[in-house]
Amino acid sequence: MSMPLPSRRNLLLSAGAAGLLTGLASQPALAFGKKDKPVTAPNSDIMFTNASAAALAGIKRIVIANYVIAFQTETSDFREATRFNKAETKATNSWDNFDVDLMQEITDAGYAQLKADFVAHGIEVLETSVLASQPFYQKIQTATGFGSPAYWGNGDGKAVLVSATGLAPFQSYGPETGNFELYNGKSTGGAPNPPTMMKRLKPYQLPGWEIDLAKALDAAVVKAWQVVDFGKVEAGANRWGFGGGGGTLDRAEHTADASSHVRIREEQSRLSFRLPTSTNRKGESVRQIPATHMAPPKDGDVVIAVGNPIFMGSDLFTLTDAGETSGQRMTGFLLGGAQHINIAAHLDAPELYKTRVSGAVNTLMGNLVNAALPSPG
């Protein structure tokens, strides 16, 4: 039996089940607590992941070859109670009413702002149309290009990758971006030529192709990649029991702590520059061990990233218990699979979300360019 849950910005669920070998009936229960956490003040600290701003001295013109925002739409967590006496919990927090058109508006506004910020610094920004005829750009697109929007995933969970209108997206060289973008999950919703792990590992020539493109255009090749999260979830599990009498009492508690937490993700949100003067055709390598390590990318001669997350509030989504799917219930009953706790995150104020996220993205573009280039005089 399930119990309805009130709408909450932060939701703590627990589901307990008890059973005797002699046939004690299951006893599910739900509880919730944990009040909303206060919104943390925005912090847009900037970090250089490889070189410094000095390497960009003398830059007069650029071409923006890639502008992508990855909007997270689902995050999940898995937990076992003990190593040998398992009580697995799988918890997911899913955005149930995301709007790709809204995401596209935010992406296009950020792209326009980035161009304006470069122009304000006296930098010539080449039109996107110059890319199509460039042989090395064509090679890049053939190797790692993908359609927009792409329904994919990364180290934080499922995402929708949205490119600026009129600018075909591509993924950077895998060893330079590390584990975060290597998630090879299923593509749902459909996208032409969706990104895959293998496609990203093959083109070892990609850093060199970007340098060749920069030389051909006599311009720094700029790539912008940002990640916007909507929430968090943490699974919990506890199991205990005793033997004796005519049976064994075995109890399990499954918990999920979910929160609405809109933010621009640190380290992975970045601005990358490939320079026409570069000789580093092999690119850089970032730490990829252990597999859960999410290192800051180095997909350029100069990469400027967000050092700390930029928070935009915990009051935009309502969280409710979505219940287990029929397939999850069947798996748990027949195969002893994990207890699933599914949480639905519903965006209550789309226009407010757009205002906050777009404002933060636009401000970030200016901060990144300001860190990269001297103040306009």
Q: Using CB atoms within 10 A of its CB, is residue 280 exposed (0-12), middle (13-18) or buried (19+)?
A: middle
- Closest Cα partner for 187 from 156, 161, 164, 226? 161
- Closest Cα partner for 300 from 208, 235, 375? 208
pLDDT at 23 over 50: no
* Model pLDDT, residue 19: 26
pLDDT at 33 over 60: no
Calpha distance 147→275 (Å, rounded): 26
pLDDT tens digits, 165-213: 999 999 899 899 988 886 655 445 445 555 555 455 568 999 999 999 9
Tokens of 352: 């407010």
Q: What is the mean pLDDT of the chain?
A: 81
Tokens of 331: 């798996």
| Greater model confidence, 65 or 43 | 65
pLDDT tens digits, 121-178: 999 999 999 999 999 999 999 888 888 998 888 889 999 999 999 999 998 998 999 8
pLDDT tens digits, 248-295: 555 677 888 889 889 999 999 999 999 999 999 999 988 888 888 889
Calpha distance 164→29 (Å, rounded): 46
Calpha distance 327→344 (Å, rounded): 17
Query: Would strands 124-125 and 61-79 be described as parallel, antiparallel, or unpaired?
Result: parallel
Calpha distance 193→81 (Å, rounded): 40
Calpha distance 264→357 (Å, rounded): 8
For residue 188, the 8-state DSSP code is: -
Average pLDDT value for residue range 305-316: 94
pTM value is 0.85
| Greater model confidence, 149 or 67 | 67
Query: Would strands 270-274 and 157-163 be described as parallel, antiparallel, or unpaired?
Result: unpaired
* Model pLDDT, residue 203: 82
pLDDT more than 90, % of the chain: 53
pLDDT tens digits, 327-359: 777 766 665 667 888 999 999 999 999 999 999
Query: How is 202-240 classified by DSSP, letter by letter?
Result: S-TTHHHHHHHHHHHHTSEEEEEEEEEEEEEEEEEEEEE
